[in-house]
Amino acid sequence: MKLPFSDITPLDKSVPGVQAIEALILPRLSILYAKRAERLRGLNAQAHGEVGYLEFLAHLVDAQAALLANNPLTAQQAIPVSALLGDGATKPERPSMAVLQTIAYWQEAFKFFVQTLSPLLPENSSEKLRDLAQAEPSVLAEQASQLLARNYSAVDAGVSVVLWAALSSCWAQAVALAIGQDLKAGSAESHGANCPCCGAPAAGGLVLTGDREGLRYLQCSLCETRWHKVRATCTTCHGTQNIDYWTFEKTDSPIQIETCGDCHSYLKIFRQDRDPHLDVLADDLMSQGLDELLEEQGFVRSGINPFSFPA
């Protein structure tokens, strides 16, 4: 099957005049997953034999796609998640452990992912995942709660990636349902570098191409929503005076890092106007040398990549 050019829906050309910049852009989730899996496999092929992790991630994204196709979140199941989402007037809320425990969808998603992926993993990694999949909901909720509270070191690194994918599948569908039904306004304002819908950190920035050429959006690490942010403005402190751009060698590189000299945060930016195939999560993994370089200079990443949590 040939995938569309982008998971972002093209603008409606039948609307006359200049269209306003959308505050939020929701992905077409099935296309996002298909393109991300394809990108991971493509990068894996280029990596010449360092098989393993990228291929594993491609299978994880396939499992997210299968869940979406065969067992999508229902409007009823979305209610407890929708209640936590931000709408511009109210900030999004992080779910408490008690709430996480009552939302069965992400827990079932985690069990499905573990069942699907276990055979691909070395025994010790697979055992950790299977142990957690069989644990009480309270144990699962406690681990998820640590990740959402950004205590990444409290969860085993191999478990985190699968657990986050399960939470993400649930939150991404809940946001799509809420905005689709207009339960929450589509004009949510971002709070710092965090997602205006769910409050999770950004995974990175995108400069779009096509009919939104040059516009910058941040992409949520949890619900996959993109929210608009004016370029050359720090996403953490909103400073504009000391913004710098860094790349490896070429100045027209499709991946660059934006640093802020005021608050010393940095954000990785994926220029789809230079390479439309870039996927924030997949391509971030292939450019981590750039992170090391900036971290040596004292900058701190403002977001996270859920394929590679900070230790």
* Cβ atoms < 10 Å from Cβ of 311: 6
Indicate the residue among 92 and 254 with the shorter CB distance to Zn ion. 92
Site size toward Zn ion (CB under 5 A) is 15
Indicate the residue among 262 and 273 with the shorter CB distance to Zn ion. 262
* Cβ atoms < 10 Å from Cβ of 165: 23
Distance CA 58, CA 129 (A): 18
Residues numbered 237 to 276 that lie near Zn ion (CB under 5 A) are: 237, 239, 260, 262-263
CA torsion angle for 96, 101, 106, 107 (degrees, to 10)?
A: 140
Q: For 161, how many CA atoms within 13 A lie in the half-sphere containing its CB?
A: 22
Q: What are phi and psi of 206, to 5 degrees?
A: -125, 135
**Which residues on adjacent β-strands are paired with residue 205?**
218, 269
We find the least distance from the C-beta atom of residue 270 to Zn ion, in angstroms, to be: 17
Query: Does position 72 bind Zn ion by CB under 5 A?
Result: no
Indicate the residue among 201 and 254 with the shorter CB distance to Zn ion. 201
Stretch of 49-57, 98-106, 119-127, 215-223 lying at the interface with Zn ion (CB under 5 A): 215-223
Indicate the residue among 132 and 147 with the shorter CB distance to Zn ion. 147
Structure-block tokens of residue 189: 């304002």
Query: Does position 197 bind Zn ion by CB under 5 A?
Result: yes
We find the least distance from the C-beta atom of residue 71 to Zn ion, in angstroms, to be: 21
Query: Does position 220 bind Zn ion by CB under 5 A?
Result: yes
We find the least distance from the C-beta atom of residue 197 to Zn ion, in angstroms, to be: 5
Query: Does position 67 bind Zn ion by CB under 5 A?
Result: no
Report whether 32 contacts 176 (CB < 8 A): no
We find the least distance from the C-beta atom of residue 259 to Zn ion, in angstroms, to be: 9
Indicate the residue among 5 and 245 with the shorter CB distance to Zn ion. 245
We find the least distance from the C-beta atom of residue 124 to Zn ion, in angstroms, to be: 32
Q: Of these, 40, 58, 198, 202, which contacts Zn ion (CB under 5 A)?
A: 198
Query: Does position 294 bind Zn ion by CB under 5 A?
Result: no
Indicate the residue among 23 and 263 with the shorter CB distance to Zn ion. 263
- Per CB under 5 A, residues contacting Zn ion are 195, 197-198, 200, 220, 222-223, 225, 234, 236-237, 239, 260, 262-263
